[in-house]
Structure 1
């Protein structure tokens, strides 16, 4: 298989040097994997061009007493303490959350909130099967509607989960972080606010009035942390660019890959927003190194019926740039 033939939303690649294999994780797609159910599947390749048919590594329905029934979004797999940990976002519309009190822009559209958040599952193998550590609740605080949790380990060795707090609760979506226990089995302390989506001033200048409910105003999506050789801390993230003043993209189709840099080099920031890296309804990217040590970014495009796209990247200090599109690997388009 090649990338143009592979349904692929929220891609995450693990480059396993021991086996010389790239593992590409995404939400389970029954038509591709042959397995029904909410979960995670993985493609494998030795060259980023030709991929094996996916195998399913996690199914929510196989987790005893799991709180969630749907989702399976944004799976990531991280090596930690001799094991592999899967983070993936699940939700359950039959578990309502209270509508939060009015914030600075009023109550968030009175949209019914329900339990949504990233779960943590563990395995001895990159091919699973992965078992949820705590089936009773998501890893971030369960009263928050969150998604897209990712792992960050700070210089002291403290693991964190960084996640997006849904605009459905906040209108202006936020990025937050919470400390994890040493074995990633739970959280320690309270969440730490990192930044809000509207901090990226290029999105638009102010909260629009009368925005229809189906169009998200300020979205935070897909965080991924990366430590640069000069010690800077970058965060890739995605949002929707407003269609204002002739800018490319629109609120309904302008999904954008962007990034931010921590001025302190720590997860607490403060975070400085950079400009868009890739437009054209592209996003939820992550960085990885090829086996010949090229820095690459994988993302999906378009948002609906997504396929994986690959970019060779360049770092100038803490400035991340697109060096070239790898259409030779992802098939163009």
Structure 2
């Protein structure tokens, strides 16, 4: 199939040079917002255009704690195994949405629970956890504390144990959505007015700068922003790029390098179910900043 044939949100690409393949993960249920969740599928390609799949990467066992809202799986290779960071929800309001860590010995799975439920705080509404390993080898989960609970959504960092099974400390707040000059508030009948944080992803530039992709809304459309750590470490302080990197109703992006060295941003656009599709955008780095290649 072609990439345009695949309905998928929150795309995550893991290149595997040893097999010459790109593996694509994401939110693959037809309607991720409601109903019984199926799991996560993945796809494989040699050229980023023609894809094989879907292959079932995760299917919950009957006693799995979450029946709904399976979102944003990321797969990271760490100490010789493959770890999936994924968001799971629950229809009961007292059971908070959060990011759990799964594990597999092969990239395509099958993935099984690794952490004991979500690693994010049990009394917080959280989503979109991603793995970042600092220069000293300390693993961190970067995640969103949701605007639906705190109005002004936050990006937070949580130190993890070396085996990625549990938190190894308290969460640290890195910044709030309203700190970015490009972000506009959103409103809903249920949650009122607030500022959204979605989909953090860490990228170290060739010059050593630590950047964070994250998504929110501008002019009522989904958009992809960038922040830069002034210290070059996860603790920041984080400086927000004045303008979004992409604002044409797309976001929840990540960055990967193709086998020919091309740097790509991938995200989903538009932000409307069931029309969301994977988009690949060529990037360039310029003195610690990211830009779309060829943009004016």
CA contact (8 A) 1:8 1:308 kept: yes
Q: Moved runs in structure 1, 4+ residues, more than 6 A?
A: none
In 2, Cα distance between the equivalents of 1:142 and 1:29? Answer: 25
Quote the residue 1:58 is aligned against.
58
Q: Does 1:26 align with 2:7?
A: no
In 1, Cα distance between the equivalents of 2:288 and 2:88? Answer: 33
Residue 197 of structure 1, CA deviation:
0.2
Quote the residue 1:68 is aligned against.
66
From 167, 179, 182, give the equivalent of 1:187: 167
Describe how 1:205-220 pairs up with structure 2 within 5 A: 212-213=189-190, 217-220=194-197
Residue 29 of structure 1, CA deviation:
3.3
From 253, 268, 279, give the equivalent of 1:300: 268
Residue 317 of structure 1, CA deviation:
1.8
Quote the residue 2:96 is aligned against.
115
In 1, Cα distance between the equivalents of 2:209 and 2:20? Answer: 28
From 162, 175, 178, give the equivalent of 2:158: 178
Residue 139 of structure 1, CA deviation:
1.0
CA contact (8 A) 1:151 1:161 kept: yes
Question: The residue matched to 1:24 in structure 2 has which SS?
Answer: strand
How many equivalent residue pairs?
A: 288
Residue 280 of structure 1, CA deviation:
1.4
Q: Does 1:239 align with 2:216?
A: yes
Residue 27 of structure 1, CA deviation:
2.2
Cα 1:216–1:133 change in 2 (3 A) is farther
Deviations along 1:89-144, one digit per CA (max 9) or x if unpaired, are: 001122x33xxxxxxxxxxxxxxxx4101110000000100010134x21111111
From 63, 83, 86, give the equivalent of 2:84: 86
Gaps of 5+ in 1: 98-113, 242-248, 326-333
Q: TM-score, with normalisation over the residues of structure 2? A: 0.92
In 1, Cα distance between the equivalents of 2:188 and 2:110? Answer: 43
Cα 1:169–1:126 change in 2 (3 A) is same
CA contact (8 A) 2:39 2:70 kept: yes
Q: Does 1:229 align with 2:200?
A: no
CA contact (8 A) 2:8 2:28 kept: no
From 125, 132, 139, give the equivalent of 2:113: 132
Which protein has the larger Cα radius of gyration, Structure 1 or Structure 2?
1
Cα 1:30–1:169 change in 2 (3 A) is closer
Q: Does 1:259 align with 2:226?
A: yes
Q: TM-score, with normalisation over the residues of structure 1? A: 0.82
CA contact (8 A) 1:38 1:71 kept: no
RMSD: 1.9
Quote the residue 1:40 is aligned against.
40
In 1, Cα distance between the equivalents of 2:202 and 2:173? Answer: 15
Residue 68 of structure 1, CA deviation:
1.3
Q: Does 1:144 align with 2:124?
A: yes
In 2, Cα distance between the equivalents of 1:255 and 1:39? Answer: 25
Residue 211 of structure 1, CA deviation:
6.5
Cα 1:29–1:211 change in 2 (3 A) is closer
In 1, Cα distance between the equivalents of 2:168 and 2:191? Answer: 35
CA contact (8 A) 1:119 1:139 kept: yes
